[in-house]
Amino acid sequence: MNDQTTFRALVVREENGSFQRAVEEHRIADLPPGDVLIRVHFSSLNYKDALSASGNKGVTKKYPHTPGIDAAGVVAASSVPQFSAGDEVLCMCYDLGMNTPGGFGEYIRVPAAWVLAKPEPLSLLETMQIGTAGFTAAQCVDRLLACGLRPEQGPVLVTGATGGVGSLACALLAKLGFAVTAVTGKESEHDFLRQLGCTAVLNRQQAIGRASAALLRERWAGVADTVGGEILAGAVKAAQYNGIVVCCGNAASGELPLTVYPFILRGISLVGIDSAECPLARRKEVWEKLAGSWRPLLHDALAALSVRINLSQLSQTVDEMLAGRTRGRIVVDLTGEK
Ligand SMILES: NC(=O)c1ccc[n+]([C@@H]2O[C@H](COP(=O)([O-])OP(=O)(O)OC[C@H]3O[C@@H](n4cnc5c(N)ncnc54)[C@H](OP(=O)(O)O)[C@@H]3O)[C@@H](O)[C@H]2O)c1
């Protein structure tokens, strides 16, 4: 392997205002400078990748571009002492896959500050079955627990429940003993959600409730929201006194049509979750849980909620995700390529 070695990557190109995707050959020399060159074995498809792969300039400013905010693989070369060739590592978020060529290529080159040693005993595949979405679900659950939420306080609502973040949040909360109510737009996936341990399933309209009401009947001791908009507003309005709501996504909307009444009359807390710029020390803490006491809880669920695709299947899967037709986690397997 040298700078002229070629590798395959999904490349998104802007042509006359429209965006085309194709698997192309690149040279290692084409990658940006960086401390650590990684041979990517697995990546995963997150909502943000689907946006980047379809020309969303809020995520990716310049094209041509290779998306992929997640990558797990083996160090091929390192100019820093923390990492050596052969180390198994993962790299998630920061600028990876946004404006830095990402995990939808067989190689990435990144700053050492973005790289984490693979948390043992997870396999590279498991780290990408979890990926940014699962890590974000873990952050949501960890924050609910840190705010004092306990199963005996009542049911927990998870929105966007069949999505990557949502499905992992459902599975983890159910295994931790919470009664989980899932919100989904997919009637065909109620059984899937029950298999993950959810005890009740609502459609989106039921979760929104009466949109004009400032408050709704108290139902949820906690909420993990991945969609924003009217569904998040409905969840906050129906949270129990002193309820905790964590919010991490905007799959439905970036708006939040609410009054202050849930906060000042019921003491509701609304807590934001970010994984993109999450500091390395916090990442290590959350991965330690995912690799430690939470690993056995998620073992069966990860198999049930994840599928594996290759680079050639990725473009079509991006379209399915944007159309809201995917479920769970999608792992991109780059081991079979050159
Ligand atoms: N804050 C962070 O650092 C962070 C990290 C990761 C992800 N996120 C965000 O979290 C969200 C979920 O990410 P993901 O990777 O899990 O995406 P995903 O796999 O595409 O899941 C999103 C889910 O949201 C629901 N949904 C989609 N469109 C909707 C609509 N118009 N109205 C209501 N629900 C809708 C669907 O679930 P149902 O069909 O089951 O309703 C869908 O499966 C995204 O907004 C993403 O950007 C944020």
- Please report the atom of ligand 1 found closest to the CA of residue 251: 45
Answer whether 134 contacts ligand 1 (Cβ < 6 A): no
Which of 265, 261, 225 lies closest to 242, judged by CA? Answer: 265
Distance CA 206, CA 310 (A): 37
> With contact defined as beta carbons under 8 Å apart, do 116 and 280 qualify?
yes
Answer whether 329 contacts ligand 1 (Cβ < 6 A): no
Q: How far apart are the first and last CA of the chain?
A: 12
Phi, psi of 288 (to 5 degrees): -60, -40
Taking residues 93-120, what's their average pLDDT? 97
- Please report the atom of ligand 1 found closest to the CA of residue 161: 40
231 Cβ neighbours under 8 A, 6+ residues apart: 159, 183, 204, 207, 208, 225, 252
Q: Identify the pLDDT of residue 338.
A: 45
Q: Residue 337 pLDDT > 70, yes or no?
A: no
Distances (CA, A) of 154 to 158, 172, 221: 13, 16, 5
Which of 68, 48, 39, 31 lies closest to 332, judged by CA? Answer: 68
pLDDT band at residue 241 using 50, 70 and 90 as cut-offs: very high
175 is written with which tokens? 């295994």
One-letter amino acid at 173 equals L
For ligand 1, atom 6: residue with the closest CA: 133
What angle do the packed helices 280-291 and 124-146 form, to 10 degrees?
Answer: 100
Q: Residue 39 pLDDT > 90, yes or no?
A: yes
CA atoms within 13 A on the CB side of 126: 18
CA of residue 324 to ligand 1 center, whole Å:
9
Q: For CA atoms 118, 121, 125, 126, give the dihedral sign.
A: negative
Answer whether 90 contacts ligand 1 (Cβ < 6 A): no
Q: Identify the pLDDT of residue 1.
A: 81
Distance CA 77, CA 35 (A): 8
Q: For a substitution probing ligand 1, which of 136, 198, 306 has the most ligand atoms within 8 Å of its CB?
A: 136
Answer whether 322 contacts ligand 1 (Cβ < 6 A): no
Taking residues 215-223, what's their average pLDDT? 98
CA of residue 321 to ligand 1 center, whole Å:
9
pLDDT band at residue 3 using 50, 70 and 90 as cut-offs: confident
Taking residues 195-202, what's their average pLDDT? 98
Which of 69, 218, 246 lies closest to 159, judged by CA? Answer: 246
Answer whether 45 contacts ligand 1 (Cβ < 6 A): no
Taking residues 225-230, what's their average pLDDT? 98
Distance CA 26, CA 105 (A): 9
Torsion of CA 299, 303, 304, 309, to 10 degrees: 150
Answer whether 306 contacts ligand 1 (Cβ < 6 A): no
Query: pLDDT tens, 275-296?
Result: 999 999 999 999 999 999 999 9
Residues facing 223 on adjacent strands: 157, 245
Taking residues 87-110, what's their average pLDDT? 97
Percent with pLDDT over 90 in the chain: 96
Answer whether 251 contacts ligand 1 (Cβ < 6 A): yes
For ligand 1, atom 21: residue with the closest CA: 163
Q: Identify the pLDDT of residue 216.
A: 98
Query: pLDDT tens, 140-181?
Result: 999 999 999 999 999 999 999 999 999 999 999 999 999 999
- Please report the atom of ligand 1 found closest to the CA of residue 189: 40
| Mean pLDDT value across the chain | 97
pLDDT band at residue 336 using 50, 70 and 90 as cut-offs: confident
Q: Identify the pLDDT of residue 299.
A: 92
Q: Residue 86 pLDDT > 90, yes or no?
A: yes
Percent with pLDDT over 70 in the chain: 99
Query: pLDDT tens, 254-267?
Result: 999 999 999 999 99
Q: What does pTM read for this prediction? A: 0.96
Answer whether 138 contacts ligand 1 (Cβ < 6 A): no
Answer whether 161 contacts ligand 1 (Cβ < 6 A): yes
> With contact defined as beta carbons under 8 Å apart, do 280 and 113 qualify?
yes
